[in-house]
Amino acid sequence: MNPIRQLIKKTISTAIPQKLFLVHGAPQQKANRSAINISFTFDDGPHPEYTPRVLDLLNQYQQRGTFFVIGEKAHQYPELIERIINEGHEIGNHTFTHQEPSQSSTRCFLDEIKQTDQILKQITGNETNLVRPPKGKLTLGKMLGLWLQRRTVVLWDTDPRDYLMSDLAEMKNWCQHYHPVEGNFCLLHDNHPYAIEAVKQLSEHQEFQIQSHIVSHWLAPKSDQAILTQQASA
């Protein structure tokens, strides 16, 4: 991401309430202090091969994550959406077709969000309030459209760029050099194989104990935070 976009992202994230715009979680007083608490976020799935393997590992390491799913893929693999929810993770809306942001009008973008809402409601019975725009790109019109619906726009502050990697060693190397900071939102893609390696490497990190939570963990009322943390580490 270029420095100007980074600055805009940082400015908005400090000026706008967290319920509307989240780039990372605010450190919490009652957090599980034996670990560094972050959020694994997985975009562009569900994928029939990689998403189940990511879920297996999240289970194995008792981690929780948020999956920003593409509506047409959710429609294709509803059993994976059910599995994500049933295993204690969370779903976010990542539009219906992942149209290139510069090619999509505000109206088209909001229509895709709505289409995905409908699919997710059919599968899970619920809608998600969390939205991540493709490539993290929004115009003012798209952002205002989401805020009028009282959506939480979720971006990230940590990006290993797994979609550009060409082998597992690259991800292993990134993970070994990653210094987690409380509240980091780590961007991964479960339509690529490297997200699987990231979950494994970060959960087995030599230097840091990393505990991943769903993104909504950071939005929970203060009194619920300790409970959520206990549940996540139970």
Q: How far is the CB of 62 from Zn ion (least distance, A)?
A: 26
Q: If binding is defined by CB under 5 A, does position 197 make contact with Zn ion? A: no
Q: How far is the CB of 197 from Zn ion (least distance, A)?
A: 19
If binding means CB under 5 A, how many residues of this protein chain bind Zn ion?
3
How far is 229 from 14, CA to CA, in rounded Å?
Answer: 24
Nearest to Zn ion by Cβ — which residue?
A: 43
Residue among 44 and 117 whose Cβ is closer to Zn ion: 44
Enumerate the β-bridge partners of residue 93.
69, 131
Q: What share of the chain is helix, strand, coil (3-state, %, to 5)?
A: 50, 15, 40
Q: How far is the CB of 98 from Zn ion (least distance, A)?
A: 5
Cα 229 to Cα 56, 61, 102, 200, 211: the distances in Å are: 20, 15, 39, 20, 9
Residues between 10 and 49 with contacts to Zn ion, criterion CB under 5 A = 43-44
Report the catalytic residues: 43, 189
Contacts of 33 (CB under 8 A, 6+ apart): none
| Assigned token pair, 109 | 């973008």
Residue among 64 and 94 whose Cβ is closer to Zn ion: 94
Residues between 128 and 147 with contacts to Zn ion, criterion CB under 5 A = 134
Residue among 117 and 190 whose Cβ is closer to Zn ion: 190
**Between vectors from CA 168 to CA 164 and to CA 172, what angle results, nearest 5°?**
100
Binding site for Zn ion (CB under 5 A): 43-44, 134
